[in-house]
């Protein structure tokens, strides 16, 4: 689908939640980087699972167990196609990006990091891609190094090349920043890291719904995705990993499903992906997630990114038209997803958020789980508007109009 043929009204009609008033105004939902809304097919699939199919998966001898297992594994195949993984078994279900990163840090990190090794992250990481590495570095004696950024929110690639060395064992980097929108040059990062023998984990929390993903072409070692930021349910995430790495990693948690044979003396572990899926997974939400992927595929990533870029450009052009220096934008990278952080002069971001909420506009305020990044800019937090494919130009105008009134007050 091209952006010119996108039928936004039809897209919006699939999202029941969008058709409501908040504080006496039509809801304008611009908090998509925190979580996207869910299309009706996802909601219905979740209801249907509990109404019609609910059973525990994989070992049941009865029809419902068989059916639920089939649906669950269908989603795994959809994920495989969505990211172009070589095998479905390389796609592990987790709770979200946070759990996916912790899994890699606590298994791959614990098994392979040694004192003096280095883990590289960037200044614009979400706390989920900082703290797990801090924890494992502390445990193993490895060092955490941070790639600086430029004032416009782009990664300082020169500094990255200086930091990269044979000591570097893991590069863990956000694909698209949730606070600034910056799209990082991940292919270049991956290829350079591989040259020194390091592996790369990408935090794909924000990339998932906006950018085309091809893990084989990227040659990325680990990619993490979050269902709830991708029009899917909460509590579903994906860890993609290359088989050769997943096979040699120890398990994350012990329990049912992840074993081949258990005795009191010793246990042998299951094959991937089950080795990393101990216990009963989030069956219903995983099954419903497939419909979120179908929703995105039905529109196409190219059309999505084109439309969202139009929304972002319209917003930024509108701000410039104010002719006011009373609003400051953060994040001016050349390549961006549709996320814009800003501050109104003299106004705490939370107060701006509350005033916008009174007009029915949902934005996020605060540090966006990127406190070191906020420190870099010398601020406590920002107001963040983040756009999704179901947003309209008229909605952007409502936001612009509200901000204009605030800056002229």
CB 341, CB 384: distance < 8 Å: yes
User: Which is closer to ligand PMP, CB of 237 or CB of 360?
Assistant: 237
Stretch that binds ligand PMP, among 59-67, 126-134, 254-262, 316-324 (CB under 6 A): 126-134
Write out the H or E segment, with its range, that includes residue 171: strand 168-174
Distances (CA, A) of 371 to 21, 128, 385: 33, 12, 18
Return the residue nearest ligand PMP (CB atom).
Answer: 96
Figure out which of the listed residues 31, 90, 118, 203 binds ligand PMP, where binding follows CB under 6 A: 203
Per-residue x/- mask for ligand PMP, residues 232 to 251, rule CB under 6 A? -----x--------------
CB of 227 to ligand PMP, least distance (A): 8
CB of 340 to ligand PMP, least distance (A): 15
Tokens of 148: 């600086």
Question: CA-based angle 403:337:86, to the nearest 5?
Answer: 155
Contacts of 99 (CB under 8 A, 6+ apart): 237, 239
Q: Is 97 in the site for ligand PMP (CB under 6 A)?
A: yes
Q: Are strands 382-386 and 364-366 parallel, antiparallel or unpaired?
A: antiparallel
Figure out which of the listed residues 98, 168, 282, 365 binds ligand PMP, where binding follows CB under 6 A: 98
Q: Give the separation between CA 144 and CA 159, rounded to whole angstroms.
A: 15
User: Which is closer to ligand PMP, CB of 107 or CB of 184?
Assistant: 184
Dihedral, CA atoms, 99, 100, 105, 110, nearest 10 degrees? Answer: 90
Stretch that binds ligand PMP, among 102-110, 125-133, 304-312, 395-403 (CB under 6 A): 125-133
Tell me whether the omega of the peptide bond preceding residue 273 falls within 30 degrees of 0, making it cis.
yes
CB of 231 to ligand PMP, least distance (A): 13
* Count of residues that interact with ligand PMP, criterion CB under 6 A: 15
Q: Is 37 in the site for ligand PMP (CB under 6 A)?
A: no
> What φ, ψ does residue 285 adopt, rounded to 5°?
-70, -35
CB of 42 to ligand PMP, least distance (A): 16
Q: Catalytic annotation on 369?
A: yes
User: Which is closer to ligand PMP, CB of 39 or CB of 233?
Assistant: 233
Report helix, strand or coil for 205. coil
CB of 374 to ligand PMP, least distance (A): 14
Nearest Cα to 286, choosing from 14, 114, 11, 53? 53
What positions carry a catalytic annotation?
Answer: 369
Rule CB under 6 A: which residues touch ligand PMP? 33, 96-98, 126, 128-129, 174, 178, 203, 205-206, 226, 237, 369
């Amino acid at each position: 689908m091209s952006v010119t043929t996108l039928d936004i009204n039809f897209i919006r009609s699939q999202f029941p939640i969008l058709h409501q008033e908040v504080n006496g105004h039509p809801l304008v939902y611009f908090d998509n980087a925190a979580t996207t809304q869910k299309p009706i097919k996802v909601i219905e699939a979740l209801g249907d699972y509990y109404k019609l199919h609910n059973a525990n998966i994989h070992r049941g001898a009865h029809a419902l167990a068989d059916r639920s297992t089939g649906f669950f594994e269908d989603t795994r195949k959809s994920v495989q196609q969505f990211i172009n993984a070589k095998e479905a078994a390389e796609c592990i279900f987790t709770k979200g990006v946070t759990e996916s990163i912790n899994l890699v840090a606590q298994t791959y990190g614990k098994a392979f990091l040694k004192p003096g090794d280095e883990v590289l992250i960037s200044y614009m990481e979400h706390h989920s891609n900082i703290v797990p590495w801090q924890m494992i570095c502390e445990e193993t004696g490895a060092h955490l190094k941070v790639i600086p950024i430029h004032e416009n929110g782009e990664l300082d690639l020169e500094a990255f090349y200086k930091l990269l060395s044979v000591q570097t064992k893991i590069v863990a980097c956000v694909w698209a920043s949730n606070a600034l929108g910056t799209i990082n040059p991940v292919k270049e990062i991956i290829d350079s890291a591989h040259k020194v023998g390091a592996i790369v984990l990408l935090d794909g929390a924000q990339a998932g719904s906006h950018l085309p993903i091809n893990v084989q072409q990227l040659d990325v070692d680990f990619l993490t995705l979050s269902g709830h930021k991708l029009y899917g349910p909460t509590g579903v995430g994906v860890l993609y990993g290359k088989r050769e790495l997943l096979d040699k990693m120890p398990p994350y948690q012990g329990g049912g499903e992840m074993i081949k044979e258990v005795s009191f003396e010793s246990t042998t572990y299951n094959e991937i992906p089950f080795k990393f899926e101990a216990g009963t997974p989030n069956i219903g939400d995983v099954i419903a997630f497939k419909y979120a992927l179908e929703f995105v595929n039905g529109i196409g990533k190219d059309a999505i990114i084109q439309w969202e870029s139009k929304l972002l450009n319209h917003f930024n052009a509108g701000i410039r038209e104010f002719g006011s220096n009373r609003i400051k934008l953060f994040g001016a990278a050349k390549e961006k997803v549709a996320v814009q952080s800003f501050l109104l002069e003299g106004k705490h971001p939370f107060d701006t958020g509350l005033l916008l909420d009174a007009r029915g506009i949902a934005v996020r305020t605060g540090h966006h789980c990127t406190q070191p990044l906020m420190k870099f800019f010398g601020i406590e937090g920002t107001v963040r508007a983040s756009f999704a494919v179901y947003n309209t130009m008229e909605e952007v105008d409502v936001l612009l109009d509200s901000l204009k009134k605030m800056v002229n007050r």
